[in-house]
Amino acid sequence: MRISRYLIVMFLSMMSWTSSAQDSLWIARGEWPHIPDSVQSIRFNANSDWTSINATLSRVPDQLSTLVLINSDSIMHTWKLEAEGEQEWEIGGFDTLSLNIPALAAGAYRFGLTNEVGRVLGASGQLQVGLDVDFPLFHWNLGDWSIDRMVAADLGLPIAWDAPYIPEQFTINERTYPATVDDVDALVTMSLGDTCLISIVNHGFMDHVFHFHGFHVTIVSSTLHPERVGWSKDTSPILRGEALVVQLVANQIGMYPVHNHNLIAVTNAGFYPGGMITQIHVMP
């Protein structure tokens, strides 16, 4: 049975490299070195090699597809795609699960583990549907992190959900500033007159508000506030669990910061600058 499962996993891995869309995700546990307090984390990896950065999925609009989850962790987890009508799926330790991703409208959607340890240790990512067709696409996965919670979850201890929540680290794509500007997915680089999309998903335990210096962005889609589509703003809230897509037109040259409007969220454990800061570079 173990040999058969190994062969299946290897076959799926080979298929994922030849497919135009990522069709397999590995649930993996390992060290997260991108914050000063190095801790254990759980991530969705694009292959069997460990990385502490969650993988991103992409699909075409209005088309059913499949996804294979390979759980390389020793415990059971539950998975959910945050889309209307979707249910939770259980996957046992060292097991493999094939599931359907429904036909979805263009936009960004959040997925992740919903059980306590998977949620606290950060196994969550974004599904991008039909976003990389007309314009360059960047993405920001927002996270806030309590080291005490993460250590407790890794040890299998219950989380004190009623205790005050005081996160020390704030990240974009599992990185804190200044490492965020070394991330080609987070650092927005454009030429004058170009247009891009930014898909933003809040995976944290609190709401976040982002401010764009130098530009207004237009809301293209939102999973929690569809009535805001078409709004043009330089400051936008991204609610807990929300997936948001904005369009940015590079109408002036320069280097501009983008940051969380909450002061503590632009620090690394209280030290400024850090946390949720990235930049927009517009070149001639």
CATH number for the domain that contains residue 217: 2.60.40.420
* 205 in any annotated domain: yes
* 238 in any annotated domain: yes
Give 158-190 as a DSSP string: PP-TTS-----EEEETTB-TTGGGG-TTTSEEE
Looking at residue 108, its pLDDT comes to: 99
* 32 in any annotated domain: yes
Return d(Cα 211, Cα 200) in angstroms, integer.
13
* 188 in any annotated domain: yes
Return d(Cα 217, Cα 210) in angstroms, integer.
11
Looking at residue 36, its pLDDT comes to: 75
Looking at residue 12, its pLDDT comes to: 42
Looking at residue 264, its pLDDT comes to: 96
- Tell me which residue has tokens 């609009």: 61
Return d(Cα 40, Cα 14) in angstroms, integer.
28
The verdict on 189 and 126 lying in the same domain is no
Residue 195's CB: how many other CB atoms inside 10 A? 14
Residue 235 C-alpha from the chain's centroid: 20
The verdict on 18 and 129 lying in the same domain is yes
Phi, psi (deg, nearest 5) at residue 151: -65, -45
Of 76, 239, 44, 40, nearest to 155 by C-alpha is 40
The verdict on 203 and 279 lying in the same domain is yes
The verdict on 121 and 205 lying in the same domain is no
Looking at residue 116, its pLDDT comes to: 98
* 210 in any annotated domain: yes
Q: Which two tokens stand for residue 268?
A: 């690394």
Residues of the chain with pLDDT under 70: 1-20
Return d(Cα 239, Cα 153) in angstroms, integer.
24
Q: Which amino acid is at 25?
A: L
- Note down the domain range covering 277: 169-283
* 187 in any annotated domain: yes
